Amino acid sequence: METAKVSEDLFDRVPGPSPWYLRKNAPVIEGFRWQSAEDSKPGKTLLVGSDGPVAALSFYNYVMALDESTLLVWNQGVGLSEVSPTAPVRLFVIEPNRLRPIDGDLISLFMRMDVSVLCSHRRHRLATL
């Protein structure tokens, strides 16, 4: 019985794919919250700060807090690589406090979103990762 409890605790901390794992045990960054965008577009998850959403994640992103202000986001790209039988895994380090709110109509942005991560950096109007 104790082994089962240890296994449950271990798997509680393992990140899983968005949007499912960002609903329950999402990594916490002070001043931000995860919000489903299911009403607008299935599979999209928003990272929302006090001024609005700063990032949008599509299906199958994994998210882990590196510290109290930094997120590691990773996913497997689409398309095969010339040097590997599978698509490469892409890693992104995001500091939500350095992102500005995403401008524009989110539904329109979601419709054009063919990438896994969309965010708006202070230096760039809109960045796709």
The pTM (predicted TM-score) of the whole model is: 0.74
The pair of three-digit structure tokens given for residue 103, joined into one six-digit string: 């401008």
Provide the percentage of residues in the chain whose pLDDT is more than 70.
70
Please report the pLDDT score of residue 56 as a whole number.
86
**Sign of the torsion angle spanned by Cα atoms 102, 94, 114, 41:** negative
The CA-CA-CA angle for residues 14, 20, 24, to 5°, reads 65
